[in-house]
Amino acid sequence: MIKTLNFRPLSHTSALRKIVITSMLSATVAMSGCSLLSVYKIDLPQGTAITQVQAQKLKVGMNQNQVLYTLGSPAIRDTLEPKRWDYIYDYKAGTEGSRKGIADVKNASQHLVVYFDDNGLVTRIEGIESLPAS
């Protein structure tokens, strides 16, 4: 015996509901490539942001505590070369930085190096010209 399938007619609200759900899913898939629905990315600053104005406050003969007070902690204190402090700054603009038009700072292009003698006094400062003016 072969049974025949009996299809029930869809009610008007059921058909409308399926059309609405299908169109909403299609719109979601279509808009998933739009930038309005992108993931929020944080701004990623790494190191100490130093300007030329701040770096020009450094003077030969200052001690390490005075340098720490003026510039903050260095990004690199090398254990093999303890008389050298490196202040490096990189910045990757995220969602907020991109909206404000802040440019990325890459490859340690802002790099200040402070050299000390055996007594912990500044003997030489390099890289002030690589820092932003303000």
Q: Which domain holds residue 17?
A: 10-39
Residues 59 and 79 in one domain: yes
Evaluate whether residue 4 is within a structural domain. Answer: no
Q: What's the pLDDT tens digit per position in 17-72?
A: 888 788 888 777 666 655 556 677 887 878 888 888 888 899 999 999 999 999 98
pTM for the predicted model, two decimal places: 0.61
Residues 51 and 22 in one domain: no
Residues 23 and 85 in one domain: no
Percentage with pLDDT > 90 across the chain: 23
Residues 21 and 48 in one domain: no
What's the pLDDT score for residue 6? Answer: 65
Evaluate whether residue 1 is within a structural domain. Answer: no
Overall number of domains in the chain: 2
Residues 85 and 28 in one domain: no
Here the tokens at position 125 are 């400062």
What's the pLDDT score for residue 40? Answer: 79
Residues 118 and 100 in one domain: yes
Residues 121 and 80 in one domain: yes
Q: Phi and psi of 72, rounded to 5°?
A: 90, -175
CA–CA separation, 88 and 73 (whole Å): 11
User: Where residue 111 sits, what CATH number does that domain have?
Assistant: 3.30.1450.10
* Lowest mean pLDDT, pick from 80-89, 90-99, 124-133: 90-99
What's the pLDDT score for residue 36? Answer: 58
Q: Is 115 helix (H, G, I), strand (E, B) or coil?
A: strand
- Residue 54 host element (H or E): helix 52-55
Residues 34 and 48 in one domain: no
